[in-house]
């Protein structure tokens, strides 16, 4: 048996007729940029997600950059974010001219809210909690800090479509949230795609304008912007997938619960299972286990046909790109330790019980032989 780390093809085969028809429709009607599929996506995402304004953009990285810029963040400002994320979260902060300020993570792989306050200065303008793996950051506490110090909260929701904290969805807690629809994300296009959501009509309009060369009406450029449009083909794919996303999210939750129950049954003491933040709903973009024998286990799983990955091999402050900030490993002890121990197992809605059994058995066997 083989269990690939991601399996985008089996999902496609399940909805092939709808996807093929939707793509053909875009081509036949030459709606490559803008037009009905994109307008439909905007409306559908607002409805399914439960938000006032969705601004479709080219990818999840641009989404963050656009929000930061339209909130007026730039040179001389600081923005606080988690030390463990994909580089989009911090590179966009730098691209505005602001400085990324990193905070170590908690036991849920999300920003450690107890360490944020000590990083706030009179230059701080915003905090970007990242709902890494699909687990909600403690946005309630982040929100309290933002109110206290007059900061913006922007949620990086690239990995957490439909996650919830206290019954309220990821991305609906701050001034705006950003999503990625990169193919491997929980809601994935067939290329790059992303969006911004916000309840703030004025901010929504600014973001929309900036993402389209500073124009809301063709040839009426109120400012300079960038070219960050969602294309028609990606919108058409996403429109089909939006009909299934709630079921798929539920399947991810069931699969995670199954993994956890099988691991607990096997009683593998050397493996630490993912923890769920109280009062929250995880969307399991990733199912991460921890073990001191990570590298040996990963090699063993590869040999047995099981795909795994590491999210991420190098925490952001330790990257060469941020060497100029002069951070030390001692400043981020949780990230530093996780770096050597975390391992992401195959996780997607289409995963079968047999495949998950095989993953757990193979891991169990590894530790029994070790």
Ligand X SMILES: *Cc1c(COP(=O)(O)O)cnc(C)c1O
Question: Which residues lie near ligand X (CB under 6 A)?
Answer: 59-61, 85-86, 88-89, 130, 156, 158-159, 180, 182, 192, 194
Residue 343: other Cβ atoms inside 10 A: 21
Q: Closer CB to ligand X, residue 61 or residue 291?
A: 61
Map tokens 């063709």 to a residue: 218
CB of 177 to ligand X, least distance (A): 11
289: three-class secondary structure by DSSP: strand
Other CB atoms within a 10 A radius of the CB of residue 299 amount to: 13
SS3 letters across 315-343 = CHHHCHHHHHHCCCHHHCHHHHHHHHHEE
User: d(Cα 257, Cα 263) in Å, to the nearest integer?
Assistant: 10
Residue 191 Cβ, how far from ligand X at the closest point, in Å?
10
**Phi/psi-derived region of residue 187, left when phi > 0, alpha when psi is between -120 and 50, beta in every other case:** beta
Residue 206 near residue 67 (C-beta atoms within 8 A): no
- Of the pair 59, 198, the CB lying nearest ligand X is at 59
CB of 268 to ligand X, least distance (A): 28
Identify whether the C-beta of residue 30 lies closer than 8 Å to the C-beta of residue 171.
Answer: no
**Cis before residue 211, ω within 30 degrees of 0?**
no
Q: Tell me whether residue 212 or residue 228 sits nearer to ligand X (CB atom).
A: 228
Nearer to ligand X, 126 or 271 (CB): 126
CB 182 to ligand X: min, Å: 4
Output the smallest distance, CB 219 to ligand X, in A.
Answer: 29
Residue 346 CA, distance from chain mean position: 17
* Whether 342 contacts 280, CB under 8 Å: no
Query: Between residues 59 and 239, which has the closer beta carbon with respect to ligand X?
Result: 59
CB of 86 to ligand X, least distance (A): 4
Supply the minimum distance, in Å, between the C-beta of residue 66 and ligand X.
Answer: 12
Q: Which two tokens stand for residue 290?
A: 């921890």
Match 């100029």 to its residue by tokens: 324
Residue number with CB closer to ligand X (59 or 96): 59
| CB closer to ligand X, 60 vs 174 | 60
| 266 neighbors 218 (Cβ within 8 angstroms) | no
In the complex, residue closest to ligand X by CB: 60
């Amino acid at each position: 048996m083989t269990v690939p780390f991601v399996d985008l093809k089996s999902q496609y085969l399940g909805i092939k007729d709808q996807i093929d028809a939707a793509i053909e429709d875009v081509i036949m009607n030459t709606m490559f940029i803008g037009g009905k599929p994109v307008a439909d996506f905007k409306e559908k995402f607002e409805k399914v997600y439960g938000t006032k304004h969705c601004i479709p953009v080219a990818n999840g990285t641009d989404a963050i950059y656009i929000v930061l810029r339209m909130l007026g963040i730039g040179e001389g400002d600081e923005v606080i974010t988690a030390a463990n994320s994909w580089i989009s979260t911090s590179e966009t902060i730098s691209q505005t001219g602001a400085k990324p300020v990193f905070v170590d993570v908690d036991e849920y792989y999300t920003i450690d809210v107890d360490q944020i306050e000590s990083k706030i200065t009179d230059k701080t303008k915003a905090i970007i909690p990242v709902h890494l793996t699909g687990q909600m950051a403690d946005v309630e506490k982040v929100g309290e800090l933002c109110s206290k110090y007059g900061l913006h909260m922007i949620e990086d929701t690239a990995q957490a479509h439909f996650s919830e904290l206290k019954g309220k969805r990821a991305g609906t807690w701050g001034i705006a949230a950003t999503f990625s629809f990169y193919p491997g994300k929980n809601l994935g296009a067939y290329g790059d795609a992303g969006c911004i959501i916000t309840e703030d009509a004025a901010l929504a309009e600014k973001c929309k304008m900036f993402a389209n060369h500073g124009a809301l009406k063709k040839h009426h450029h109120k400012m300079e912007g960038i070219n960050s449009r969602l294309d028609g083909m990606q919108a058409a794919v996403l429109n089909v997938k939006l009909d299934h996303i709630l079921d798929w999210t539920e399947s991810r939750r069931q699969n995670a619960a199954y993994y956890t129950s099988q691991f607990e049954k096997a009683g593998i003491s050397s493996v630490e299972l993912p923890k769920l933040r109280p009062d929250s709903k995880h969307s399991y973009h990733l199912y991460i286990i921890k073990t001191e024998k990570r590298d040996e286990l990963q090699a063993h799983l590869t040999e047995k046909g099981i795909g795994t990955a590491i999210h991420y091999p190098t925490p952001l402050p330790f990257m060469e790109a941020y060497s100029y900030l002069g951070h030390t490993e001692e400043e981020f002890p949780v990230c530093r330790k996780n770096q050597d121990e975390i391992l992401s197992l195959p996780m997607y809605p289409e995963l079968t019980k047999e495949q998950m059994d095989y993953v757990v058995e193979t891991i169990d066997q590894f530790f029994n032989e070790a």
